[in-house]
């Protein structure tokens, strides 16, 4: 991933240095788990073995195989004890297990960040529980609602994504030390258990020569879903920031410029960035699905793609979570503008309340519907208050103070927001 969208902590997980360090951790654990072979002095030498990325790259020019180049460099560094490095292993044992370590480390960053976002959305929802705004369906005014209730929906979705990510990263922390074509013929399943227990990873029950790629596809799908949820939230803020609406604005920093040509501009660029990068995550998830079907016990058609999509997807999700937290923490909510927008239809958005009141008074539903539809459309088209039109309608006799009460629409919001307790900080 380009530096523009890579935050340092997660970027450090995916450097060449970090990748080979994870593979080195596997090789050391594998040597330590050998019951007959290396002496204590040999193990000390293996633990002290080092590599440089430059040395591996130079060696790969000869081997045309980066794992073999890595093993050669590491073994040479260990001296005579180096003969026990990679003993009985195949490349996938080291590569897939090292990858599992990297994914485990990425999950340790991303899952808490996803939970933090859910928690902060929940807090913001509680803050705006009584902030009235219009609810929209098809982009058109529908009925009044609470901005807090809108945010609560995003909070609960963010919570589901955090739960899904936790499960996906947990199942991806699965590795295999099963040897060529996965038969365990060289060292056996008990050896695998000893190695992986040292590394804190679970063993793949039946591996072939590689860890099955449905695990990685599941993780990439969970990441893409999380990105889609963040895009949904960002799309809402983008719509609410439009000049004609201007109910909410994403944060705009001191010194920030919205346009190189028009100094008045304050554009929703953070949310637009979220929407754009979320599309990349969905594309990467598709590649993850394509990687599931490999030839026989393995090929490496997945390998080249994974070197791009797994680092990029985790790095981008980290970026999207950080951007979303920035929006939640710093957004400006124009409650006065929300209240003004509620009046744009001259009360037509109370149409269901009027309809129900007429039905409750004894009128047939279709008759009541036709009356309310006619008057509501007249109110909207002519900017005449629906309440005034109802007062002049001979067949209507209602307690209009009760009908035209905004409090009706938010009376159960506090009760609904109690469900946010499932989200823990």
Q: Are 284 and 312 in contact (CB under 8 A)?
A: yes
Give counts: helices (H), strands (E), the chain. 17, 6
| Alpha carbons 189 and 5: distance in angstroms, whole number | 41
Residue in 299, 12, 208 with CA at minimum distance from that of residue 291 = 299
Smallest CA-to-CA distance from 167 within 222, 205, 207, 210 is with: 222
Q: How many residues does the chain have?
A: 425
Place of tokens 């599992």: 100
Catalytic residue (choose from 65, 197, 259, 304): 259
| First-last CA distance in the chain | 30
Residue 5 in tokens: 């969208």
Residues 6+ apart with CB under 8 A from 175: 96, 97, 100, 196, 199, 201, 202, 203, 204, 211
**Nearest-angstrom CA–CA distance, 319 and 169:** 18
Instruction: For strands 132-137 and 140-146, give the pairing.
Output: antiparallel
Buried b / exposed e along 334-359 (16+ C-beta atoms within 10 A): beebbbebbeebbbbbbbebbbebbe
Tell me the C-alpha distance between 174 and 193, whole Å.
12
DSSP states of 340-382 as a string? HHTTTTTTGGGHHHHHHHHHHTT--HHHHHHHHHHHHHHHHHH
Task: In whole angstroms, give the CA distance from residue 49 to residue 82.
Answer: 8
**CA dist 59 → 52, 66, 67 (Å):** 11, 8, 10
Nearest to 210 by CA among 74, 72, 67: 67
Residue 361 annotated to the active site: no
Q: Kindly write down the DSSP assignment for every residue of 101-169, as one continuous string.
A: HHHHHHHHHHHHHHHHHHHHHHHHHHHTTT-EEEEEETTEEEEEEEHHHHHHHHHHHHHHHHHHHHHHH
Q: Is 138 considered catalytic here? A: yes
Choose the catalytic residue: 77, 86, 92, 138. 138
**Burial of 239 (C-beta count, 10 Å sphere; 0-12/13-18/19+):** middle
> Which residues have a catalytic role annotated?
138, 259
């Amino acid at each position: 991933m380009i530096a523009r969208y890579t935050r340092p902590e997660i970027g450090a997980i995916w450097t060449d240095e970090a990748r080979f360090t994870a593979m080195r951790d596997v090789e050391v654990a594998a040597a330590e788990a050998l019951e007959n072979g290396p002496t204590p002095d040999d193990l000390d030498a293996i633990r002290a073995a080092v590599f440089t990325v430059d040395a591996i790259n130079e060696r790969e020019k000869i081997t045309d195989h980066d794992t073999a180049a890595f093993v050669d460099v590491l073994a040479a560094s260990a001296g005579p004890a180096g003969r026990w490095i990679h003993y009985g292993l195949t490349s996938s044992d080291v590569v897939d297990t090292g990858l599992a370590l990297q994914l485990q480390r990425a999950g340790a960053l991303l899952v808490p960040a996803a939970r933090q976002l859910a928690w902060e959305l929940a807090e913001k929802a509680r803050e705006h529980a009584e902030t009235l705004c219009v609810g929209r369906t098809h982009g058109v005014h529908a009925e009044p609602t609470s901005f807090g209730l809108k945010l609560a929906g995003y909070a609960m979705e963010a919570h589901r994504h955090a739960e899904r990510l936790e499960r996906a990263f947990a199942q991806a922390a699965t590795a295999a030390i099963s040897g060529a074509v996965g038969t365990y013929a060289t060292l056996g399943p008990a050896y695998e258990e000893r190695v992986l227990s040292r590394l804190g990873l679970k063993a793949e029950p039946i591996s072939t020569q590689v860890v099955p790629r449905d695990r990685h596809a599941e993780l990439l799908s969970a990441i893409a879903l999380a990105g889609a949820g963040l895009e949904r939230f960002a799309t809402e803020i983008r719509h609410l920031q439009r000049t004609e609406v201007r109910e909410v604005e994403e944060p705009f920093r001191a010194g920030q410029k919205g346009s190189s040509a028009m100094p008045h501009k304050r554009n929703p660029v953070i949310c637009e960035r979220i929407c754009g990068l979320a599309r990349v995550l969905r594309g990467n998830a598709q590649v993850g699905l394509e990687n599931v079907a490999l030839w026989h016990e393995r090929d490496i058609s997945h390998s080249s793609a994974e070197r791009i999509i797994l680092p990029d997807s985790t790095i981008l999700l980290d970026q999207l979570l950080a951007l979303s937290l920035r929006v939640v923490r710093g957004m400006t909510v124009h409650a006065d503008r929300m209240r003004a927008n509620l009046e744009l239809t001259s009360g037509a958005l109370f149409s269901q309340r009027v309809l129900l009141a007429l039905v409750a008074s004894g009128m047939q539903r279709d008759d009541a519907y036709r009356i309310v539809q006619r008057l509501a459309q007249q109110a909207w088209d002519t900017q005449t208050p629906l309440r005034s039109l109802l007062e002049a309608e001979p067949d209507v006799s209602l307690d209009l103070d009760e009908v035209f009460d905004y409090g009706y629409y938010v009376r159960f919001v506090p009760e609904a927001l109690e469900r946010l307790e499932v989200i823990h900080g």
